[in-house]
Amino acid sequence: MSSLDGAAVPRRGRRRRRRWREGGSSTARWDVELLGWAVCAVGVGVIGAHLAPALFPVETAAGGAQGIIWTAMAAPVALAFARSRPRGLLRFRAIDVVYGLVFGILLRLAQGAVAGIGDGDAPWPSVFSTDGGLPPGFVVDAVAGSLFTPTIEELLFRGVVLVSAYAVLRRSVGGAAAGIAAVAVSTALFVAAHELAALRDPADLVALTLLSVVAGAFTIGTGRIWPAVAVHVVFNASGFALFAAGTLLS
């Protein structure tokens, strides 16, 4: 009798857990307030970077400015993930590395093409050197700029900013429109932060815009942050590689 009773009761299938792009509890607290804190943190980082020469000795001012920016960006990231972890956002797939290699190089080539418009071939980049070698600290700067900076920037702009903007807008305008708007918001803040921290030439601004759009599209399209991080890492690393080659071959 018990076996018949058991057969009569349908087994409940395991409920599928919704990814962050579908809403749910994992992004419930990634809201307008969190988005506001992220914007404020970017402002604090930019102001701190400009104050660094007055706060630090000349030889450490650049490092101090970078430290202020990193700290300011890390604060809203820590706050966001203390609230919750958007489901699937931090999941890694091997294909993410391929995305990074392909699109990171393509974006670097696109920057070179834009830089060469109107002036023929783009100039070969190099760093200031008095003996033809790389300046002291270049390797440390290259490692930090190729690994740490892209990671913290993507966690802030494609993580906190993009996901918060998407979560806020999704219910009112739908997923597709929210995705486009979220990419636009994260791109505008990303480019503005870089321009306010240090003036950029038009080719750099175009490259930063393309980088942000591609990174945002990967985050929305895959639901994962690591393709964006990989693209940014390869883009920055290829830039440092060009500077090293240009300096050593000059």
Classify residue 47: in a domain, yes or no. Answer: no
The fraction of the chain above a pLDDT of 90, given in percent, is 68
**Is residue 23 predicted with pLDDT exceeding 70?**
yes
**Is residue 13 predicted with pLDDT exceeding 80?**
no
Average pLDDT over residues 142-168: 96
Average pLDDT over residues 155-177: 96
Residue 227: pLDDT band (50, 70, 90) is very high
pTM of the model: 0.88
Which of the residue ranges 3-12, 24-33, 36-45 would you say has the lowest mean pLDDT? 3-12
pLDDT of residue 117: 74
Average pLDDT over residues 162-173: 95
Q: Is the dihedral of CA 227, 230, 236, 238 positive or negative?
A: negative
pLDDT of residue 119: 60
**Is residue 7 predicted with pLDDT exceeding 60?**
no
Closest C-alpha among 80, 76, 71 to residue 47: 71
The pLDDT mean for the chain works out to: 88
Classify residue 129: in a domain, yes or no. Answer: yes
Classify residue 7: in a domain, yes or no. Answer: no
**Is residue 4 predicted with pLDDT exceeding 50?**
no
Classify residue 185: in a domain, yes or no. Answer: yes
Helix axis angle for 202-222 and 226-249, nearest 10°, is 150
Residue 3: pLDDT band (50, 70, 90) is very low
Which range has the top average pLDDT, 3-12, 194-203, 226-235? 226-235
**Is residue 1 predicted with pLDDT exceeding 50?**
no
How many Cα neighbours within 13 Å face the side chain of 81? 10
Q: d(Cα 178, Cα 196) in Å, to the nearest integer?
A: 27
Domain that holds residue 212: 88-249
Task: Look at 137 and 13; give whichever has higher pLDDT.
Answer: 137
Classify residue 30: in a domain, yes or no. Answer: no
CB 45 within 8 A of CB 72: yes
Task: Look at 168 and 117; give whichever has higher pLDDT.
Answer: 168
Classify residue 39: in a domain, yes or no. Answer: no
The dihedrals phi and psi of 123, each to the nearest 5 degrees, come to -65, 145
Classify residue 27: in a domain, yes or no. Answer: no
**Is residue 10 predicted with pLDDT exceeding 60?**
no
Q: d(Cα 77, Cα 143) in Å, to the nearest integer?
A: 21
Classify residue 160: in a domain, yes or no. Answer: yes
pLDDT of residue 247: 77
The fraction of the chain above a pLDDT of 70, given in percent, is 87
CB 162 within 8 A of CB 219: yes
Instruction: Count the domains in the chain.
Output: 1
